[in-house]
Chains A and B, each alone.
Chain A
Amino acid sequence: MSLLNKLEKIVHYFQPPQKTARVAKERLQIIIAHERQRDNPDYLTLMQKELLEVISKYVQINKDDIKIELDRKDGCSILELNIVLPASGVVA
């Protein structure tokens, strides 16, 4: 064992132990946020379908005319909804 190695061990001995609980919490927060997001798209497509149904009662549009996007910024989620309405095409 080199002198440097020994020294490192001695320094290590006097350092406070790493707080592993904090590491655990941080890792969990990241992975769980990720997994919740992955589980969610389900409801986005469902909502898109229902919106399409409601809107088609009043105007004629295609599935592609509705765009839903979920964005996460600075700890808050933004749901962006874009609907392209045809110039004319109001259902009587």
Chain B
Amino acid sequence: MAEVIVVTSGKGGVGKTTTSASLAVGLSNRGYKTVVIDFDIGLRNLDLIMGCERRVVYDFINVIRGEANLNQALIRDKHAKELYILPASQTRDKDALTQEGVQKVLDELQKTFDYIVCDSPAGIEHGAQMAMYFADHAVVVTNPEVSSVRDSDRMLGLLSSKTKRAEERREPVKEHLLITRYSPKRVTRGDMMSLEDVNEILAIPLLGVIPESQAVLRASNAGDPVILDEESDAGQAYADAIERFLGEDKPFRFVSEKVHWIKRLFSIKEKEHA
């Protein structure tokens, strides 16, 4: 039985797709058979971030409509062993994403996969609600900025009312906070909310803190999820978040300027020793 993870945020452009890609690669590299689904109907993007855009033939909506079967639509990822991508369609007909259709596809994926990662579109409309409806876990991606935090709180409200688990009054969707585009320097300066501030307001367990990083743009330019850039701060922060997701206790890195510098010195020394 697979676990369904929705990556959601409300606000657009905060790092959901970047996160979905790295989460999926990270889980599969840890030995879990994983599939990542792009729910952003009409604005397909995950394929680019995963570097498989030229191999898209059929998509999620084709499968829902029965125009293709799942095996024809799933794309095997070139980076990780047991990872598949189900791309979004570029049709503008958003009604094509029906709850029955999503259920049918998820049911079939449940049989063979350990994790199903759902990359949600922005907003709180139909697409975002379909992405979260069947979730067991929610990774709430938040930037340390007023509108993003407020939108995340709205999403938490929806997660506790508009999901299958909520409707059936089962154990609620497990919520995880992922703060992205974090800049310790600006936090020290006092013009960015700290992770403690954001965490206090949203009050859900903190899964990770991803620093603002140039590695993210380089990764998306190349079509290689940033977690594969093991030298980079963002890549390492994503790797830590995945370890935490899997239940390990990891200290938070790249969250303060000082630690950052000391860590850097240490890593230079370690390299010299190696």
Would you call B150 and A32 a contact (CB within 8 A)? yes
Q: Does B194 sit at the interface, judged by CB under 8 A?
A: yes
A22 touches B190 (CB 8 A): yes
Interface 0/1 of B128-151, CB less than 8 Å to A:
000000000000000001100110
Closest to B193 in A: A21
| Main SS class of interface, B | helix
B187 at the binding interface (Cβ < 8 Å): yes
Q: In the complex, A21→B161 CA distance in Å? A: 31
- A17 vs B190: C-alpha distance in the bound complex, in angstroms? 9
| C-alpha spacing A74/B80, complex, angstroms | 53
Which residues of the partner chain A approach B107 to less than 8 Å between Cβ atoms?
A: none
Contact B157 A21 (CB under 8 A): no
Known: A21-B197, A39-B157. A28 touches B191 (CB 8 A): no
Give the residues from 145 to 176 in chain B that come closer than 8 angstroms, CB to CB, to chain A: 145-146, 149-150, 153-154, 157, 161
Q: Give the chain A neighbours of B201 by CB distance below 8 A.
A: 25, 28-29, 32
Q: Which residues of B contact A31 (CB under 8 A)?
A: 150
User: Which one, A17, A25, A39, A42, contacts B197 given CB within 8 A?
Assistant: A25
* Shortest Cβ distance from residue A52 to the other chain B in the assembled complex, whole angstroms: 19
Residues of A with C-beta under 8 A to B68: none
Q: Is the CB of A36 within 8 A of B193?
A: no
Interface size class of A (residues with CB under 8 A): 10 to 19
In the complex, are the beta carbons of B190 and A35 less than 8 A apart? no
Q: Which of B149, B157, B190 contacts A19 (CB 8 A)?
A: B190
Q: Which residues of A contact B (CB under 8 A)?
A: 17, 19-22, 24-25, 27-29, 31-32, 35-36, 39, 42
Q: Which residues of B contact A (CB under 8 A)?
A: 145-146, 149-150, 153-154, 157, 161, 187, 189-194, 197, 200-201
In the complex, 16 of the A-B residue pairs with CB atoms within 8 angstroms, ordered by the A residue number, are: A17-B189, A17-B191, A19-B190, A20-B191, A21-B190, A21-B191, A24-B146, A24-B197, A25-B193, A25-B200, A29-B201, A31-B150, A32-B150, A35-B150, A35-B154, A39-B157
